[in-house]
Amino acid sequence: MSTAVVPSYPRHPTALAQQALTANLACDGRFTLGLGLSHKMVIEDMMGLSYAKPASHMREYLEVLVPLLKGEAVAYAGEEYQVAYKLALEESAAPSLVVAALGPRMLKIAGELSDGTTTWMVGPKTLREHIIPRISESAAAVGKPAPRIVAGLPIALTNNVEAAKKQINNDLQIYGQLPSYRAMLDREGAANPADIAIIGDEAHLKQQLDTFKALGVTDFNAAVIGVEPGAYKSTMDFLAAYKNS
């Protein structure tokens, strides 16, 4: 059980720690907390909060959150957060924590302070040349084990590839425009979201998933797209069979 990306700005780290620990207890220790910054258009333009220093915000947020998840008391004095707090919850192991990190500063922070990263709109070339080396180097520098790499991508089992690409580009158009994702697509040499989507028959899907596994991706976050009647179910059935193979 996991969240994909919970936006940090609208949630104080003490409140999120309470929620994550409670969820982890309910899931018998199987919960993964996915955390991220969201985007300027959401945080600043829609919510009216400052998005001036996103990386600094995330570092402070994690420096408060991580000890709380471990059951430790926090006495923290930062630029954004001043926290003196300890949670009184039933004793539980900390949930796994992955941070949506794409840029160099965020990958460094995620490697140092979390268990890994969760990506979106990131293809195999960018994972191999940018994401995995940077976060792995950061984790190793502070004596942490190899990080979890959660790769999120659109996926659809279909024989009508061109029609599927057209639908995906239409449905996911916004992700080709948001700056952080646009930068990842540009690194990959991809014009649109469909260019990094996993679309095709069973043999093609298996080959693509095998490629990601070989790169060092530890978890696959499947954004299943129902590109035609029955495609959602058939894709889910394929993924279940692949997981158990």
Check residue 92 and give its pLDDT.
72
The predicted model scores a pTM of 0.93
pLDDT by residue (tens digit) across 86-114?
Answer: 988 767 789 999 999 999 999 999 999 99
pLDDT at position 7, please?
96
pLDDT tens, residue by residue, 63-87: 999 999 999 999 999 999 999 999 8
What is the reported pLDDT for 88?
80
Give the pLDDT score at 90: 64
| Per-residue pLDDT, 101 | 97
The per-residue pLDDT for 2 is 79
Secondary structure of the chain as H, E, C letters:
CECCCEECCCCCHHHHHHHHHHHHHHCCCCCEEEEECCCHHHHCCCCCCCCCCHHHHHHHHHHHHHHHHCCCCEEEECCCCEEEECCCCCCCCCCEEEECCCCHHHHHHHHHHCCEEEEECCCHHHHHHHHHHHHHHHHHHCCCCCCEEEEEEEEEECCCHHHHHHHHHHHCHHHHCCHHHHHHHHHHCCCCHHHCCEEECHHHHHHHHHHHHHHCCCEEEEEECCCCCCHHHHHHHHHHHHHCC
pLDDT along the chain (245 residues), means of 10: 90 96 91 96 93 96 96 95 88 89 97 98 98 98 98 97 96 94 97 97 98 97 95 97 92
